[in-house]
Structure 1
Amino acid sequence: MPSPPRPRRRRLAPTPSYASVPGWGLIEPPREEDAATDPVAESTDALTRAMWLVAVVLAAASAVHVVRYVIAVINRSRPIPVWIDWLSSIAVLVFGLMALVGVVVATVSFGRWVREIRTRSFESAGFTDPRRRIVVLALSVIPLVNVIGAPWLLHEAAVVDRIGDGGRRFRVGIRLAAAWAIVNAVALLAFAYRIAAWTTDSLQTDADALALVAGSLAVSALFAWWAVPRVERLAGFAEDTDISEPRRLVAA
């Protein structure tokens, strides 16, 4: 018997062609971590968080020194238990170290913030920062040197930036610089008095040194709290409320 005829194969349609590669469902949105980030915003956020933290630590250290001062005053007229003396001494040491670490972290964050502010200002004007990074960090981080160095670095950035704000940011910078100079002067006085107290056995001198250190820590904590919104204003991330609305005198 003849074999049955084979079924005919259907003719396939021509392979489609496209002028461009189709992108049906192939578009992948960029990941958040791949998006460009603003280094000034990051450094400002890191600096303000460090300043809030150091304000709390300095306030706690000031309170501990006040307690130690009260104990020293009481000890002038009557003896105190040994355990209270040891406990208060350890508390002063621990909170003093915590304050020192907090100040170092905030100072390093400040140096990075100054560097990013200068980079943004010079790049927006079409230039590169003429000062080396190590010089910027040294002028903004080294104690006492940054009393003059940091305001001068920010002043150079403001001159290049030429922000049309009527000089409000310049006035904010002047106030920050003046307050920072006062904080350093008080801290230097307390440090010198504390060194002098270590060279004498006078309980009164020791108590006065504790009072000065407590006051210096309180002033530093207040400055850190006060400076946070002003740092954000200098960076351009806070509303400027420096100038109040003009008032008119109306005759009754």
Structure 2
Amino acid sequence: MPVRTDVYLPPARRGFRWIARNPGEPRGVGDPQPPRADPSTPRYDAIPAWGLTDVVDTSPAEESRADRMADRVGSLLTIAAVLYGLAVFAELGRYAILVYNQTRLVPQLLLRLSDAAVYFTQLGGLLTAVLAAVAAVCWLLRARRDLYAREKRTDPRSRGEILVGCAVPVLNLVMPPVYLLELVRRDPRGSRLVKIWWGFWAFSGFLLVVNAYWRSRPGLQAMADGVLLSAFIALIAAATAALLLVVIRRIEHKDWRGEPDTATRWVPVPRSVLENAVPEKAAAQ
């Protein structure tokens, strides 16, 4: 760079001067000519190592604890239905022992086996039913979330409202079927299944109140009748669990084993087609 001097000096005594040149002219004596641009098309001698490739993480997102619990709803409902079904036979066996004991003595080993069968099936069915209820609520939340996401709408019911409706006594006899009916509003058969399950669900709640009252009555006959009532309650509980599993599979478009349900369409075939098909089959044989 030229050395700056006082700008108030005359131009002849300043340390630099301005010279105008054309853009292509050299800047000084002996300066090399600027390189000319290559008129050929630019190209790479090798494949470049950089690019605009977007690396997408395709690994599945980790499921939450609620989603993992929802995946177990089918197995838990099945176990609960089986245990309550066995409880029916255990209670009937106990009633038969009570009838037999009116005239004869019952071996102590048989009584212990009967008590163990009743406690195992009833208590195991109750614990499994509680876990199945928790899994069913988790499944309900996920099903509603997926449905409204596909429809690109917002669920009108909040998560807290659904949890309260499923957990508060008496209220949980009314609201869970309403939540399920909102999922199957466009499926007449699914709505019918939900209403049938609703009847069993409400009736089972009524039977629990009746059972609590019946057990407070004194006397051996009341105790024997309570055994039959317990067997009937276990039967309704098994049917309720099985029906809820059918409803869930219907909403998921799966069969009772959890496999994807293939749609079957029945088409009426004219009688003439069937009559023509029989001679052709006989001729082929």
Q: TM-score, normalised by structure 1?
A: 0.69
The corresponding residue for 1:175 is 193
The corresponding residue for 1:35 is 60
- Partners of 1:110 and 1:140 within 8 A in 2: no
Give 1 or 2: higher helix fraction.
1
- Partners of 1:194 and 1:213 within 8 A in 2: no
1:19 and 2:48 matched: yes
The corresponding residue for 2:10 is none
The corresponding residue for 1:189 is 207
- Structure 1 position 171, deviation (Å): 2.6
The structure with more radius of gyration: 2
- Partners of 2:67 and 2:139 within 8 A in 1: no
The corresponding residue for 1:222 is 239
Across the two proteins, how many residue pairs are aligned to each other? 219
Indicate the SS of the match to 1:76.
coil
Q: 1:63–1:143: structure 2 CA closer, same or farther, 3 Å change rule?
A: farther
The equivalences for 1:191-206 within 5 A come to 191-193=209-211, 195-201=213-219, 203-206=220-223
Q: State which of 46, 70, 79 in structure 1 corresponds to 2:72.
A: 46
Q: State which of 74, 81, 91 in structure 1 corresponds to 2:117.
A: 91
- Partners of 2:87 and 2:121 within 8 A in 1: yes
Cα distance in 1, alignment partners of residues 226 and 270 from structure 2: 51
- Partners of 1:193 and 1:209 within 8 A in 2: yes
- Partners of 2:200 and 2:236 within 8 A in 1: no
- Partners of 1:65 and 1:213 within 8 A in 2: yes
- Partners of 1:233 and 1:240 within 8 A in 2: no
Cα distance in 2, alignment partners of residues 180 and 215 from structure 1: 18
The corresponding residue for 1:107 is 133
Cα distance in 1, alignment partners of residues 174 and 180 from structure 2: 10
Q: 1:110–1:76: structure 2 CA closer, same or farther, 3 Å change rule?
A: same
Cα distance in 1, alignment partners of residues 74 and 202 from structure 2: 19
The corresponding residue for 2:15 is none
Q: Deviations 1:38-83 (Å, cap 9, x if unpaired)?
A: 9899666421111111112111222211111111222234343444
Q: 1:193–1:228: structure 2 CA closer, same or farther, 3 Å change rule?
A: closer
- Structure 1 position 113, deviation (Å): 0.9
Give the partner amino acid of 1:214. A
- Structure 1 position 177, deviation (Å): 3.0
- Partners of 1:194 and 1:206 within 8 A in 2: no
- Partners of 1:147 and 1:181 within 8 A in 2: no
Give the partner amino acid of 2:247. R
Unaligned 5+ segments in structure 2 are 1-44, 255-259, 272-285
Cα distance in 2, alignment partners of residues 200 and 248 from structure 1: 67
The equivalences for 1:66-215 within 5 A come to 66-142=92-168, 144-158=170-184, 167=186, 169-186=187-204, 188-189=206-207, 191-193=209-211, 195-201=213-219, 203-215=220-232
- Partners of 1:122 and 1:157 within 8 A in 2: no
Q: Deviations 1:153-206 (Å, cap 9, x if unpaired)?
A: 1233445xxxxxxx4x343233233234224414532552354234312x2222
- Partners of 1:147 and 1:177 within 8 A in 2: no
Indicate the SS of the match to 1:128.
coil
Q: TM-score, normalised by structure 2?
A: 0.62
Cα distance in 2, alignment partners of residues 247 and 147 from structure 1: 43
Give the partner amino acid of 1:53. I
**Structure number with higher relative contact order (C-alpha < 8 Å, ≥ 6 residues apart):** 1
- Partners of 2:177 and 2:195 within 8 A in 1: yes
